[in-house]
Structure 1
Amino acid sequence: MTPAENKTQPTAVPVAEFLATLSERRRGEAAVLIEMMEQIAGEPPKMWGPSIIGFGHVRYRLASGREGDTGAIGFSPRKTAVTVYIAEGFDRHRDLLDKLGKHKTGVSCLYLTKLADADPDVLRELITRSYRHQVAANRSRTLHPDRDSAS
């Protein structure tokens, strides 16, 4: 791997093998998100790195010229929170965040301490919008130029 390559690469580890390492609660939350994201993306889950479950595939190029591959949508069921990745960030999704329920956000991470605290219909819409954005942006090959200056 060259220094400019994305550290998170798809792996051959079966998703079920990873899920078996989770607590019962996180395994259940992961099952809900897997079903939801598989319906949205129309593709099965795949492990990206040791702990990210991704769906679909997009090639990105940032305004800086850095390129890489990533799942079109994905999440990571971590010990303290489920992290849902919204690669383009949240500016275009403020209307949904206001209705989502208890959550925190980072630049492109949605943190849900308990999946049950989030409105499932709002979460589905947020993930669907993000997926559509990623697929459309992949066609133009620049996924998040507005975030690139922060990279």
Structure 2
Amino acid sequence: MAYELKTKENDASVLAFIEKVESPKKREDAYQLLDLFTETTGYEAKMWGSSIIGFGSYHYTYKTGHEGDAPLVGFSPRKAKISLYFATGDPDREKLLESFGKHTSGKACVYINKVADIDTNVLKALIKQSVDFLHTLYPDHH
């Protein structure tokens, strides 16, 4: 996730961003995800760039020397699909995704059409797992 995120945390309003989501159904899903992520992480939602809602943050440094900050987890209600951002490289993610419901996954993102397609308890487990994985990987940043 970090490598593709040229985005910085900012003070834009998360609610104003969700209100601008065109599809009423997707807007409803975004509010539901906002609640789920907030409740599960205990972090306040923040905008990262113009379209990602992130929770918590960590500072990463790659072997190449490239470094930056990224949210621990997040989501973005995009036009085509809803992108869910989890930790990259977590070996246990695949196992949980088997019971997640209808989705496709990229390197760092998991894409869903709507919240109704997925098991929200599995989503909570994925969120917790990502946060724990990153806290273990980057112990200095909580």
Residue identity in the other structure for 2:19: A
- 1:75 is paired with a residue whose SS is strand
1:27 matched to 2:24: no
Alignment of 1:60-75 (within 5 A): 60-75=60-75
Instruction: Provide the rounded CA distance (Å) in 2 between the counterparts of 1:105 and 1:89.
Output: 13
**Equivalent in the alignment of 1:53:** 53
- 1:139 is paired with a residue whose SS is coil
Cα deviation per residue 1:56-100 (whole Å; 9 max; x = unaligned)?
111111122211001111011101111001132463222211111
Percentage identity across paired residues of the two chains: 36
**Equivalent in the alignment of 1:16:** 15
**Equivalent in the alignment of 1:98:** 98
Instruction: Provide the rounded CA distance (Å) in 1 between the counterparts of 2:77 and 2:89.
Output: 19
Q: CA deviation at 1:136?
A: 2.2
- Does the CA-based 8 Å contact 1:99-1:119 persist in structure 2? yes
Cα deviation per residue 1:115-150 (whole Å; 9 max; x = unaligned)?
211111111111110111122222168xxxxxxxxx
How many residue pairs end up in the alignment? Answer: 137
Cα deviation per residue 1:7-28 (whole Å; 9 max; x = unaligned)?
2001221111101111211111
- Does the CA-based 8 Å contact 1:85-1:108 persist in structure 2? yes
TM-score w.r.t. length of structure 1: 0.84
Alignment of 1:114-125 (within 5 A): 114-125=114-125
Residue identity in the other structure for 2:16: E
- 1:31 is paired with a residue whose SS is helix
Please report the RMSD computed on the Cα atoms of aligned residues, expressed in angstroms: 1.8
- 2:59 is paired with a residue whose SS is strand
- Does the CA-based 8 Å contact 2:41-2:55 persist in structure 1? yes
Instruction: Provide the rounded CA distance (Å) in 1 between the counterparts of 2:80 and 2:138.
Output: 31
Residue identity in the other structure for 1:18: F
Runs of 4+ more than 3 Å apart: none
TM-score w.r.t. length of structure 2: 0.89
Residue identity in the other structure for 1:134: L
Q: 5+ residue gaps in structure 1?
A: 142-151
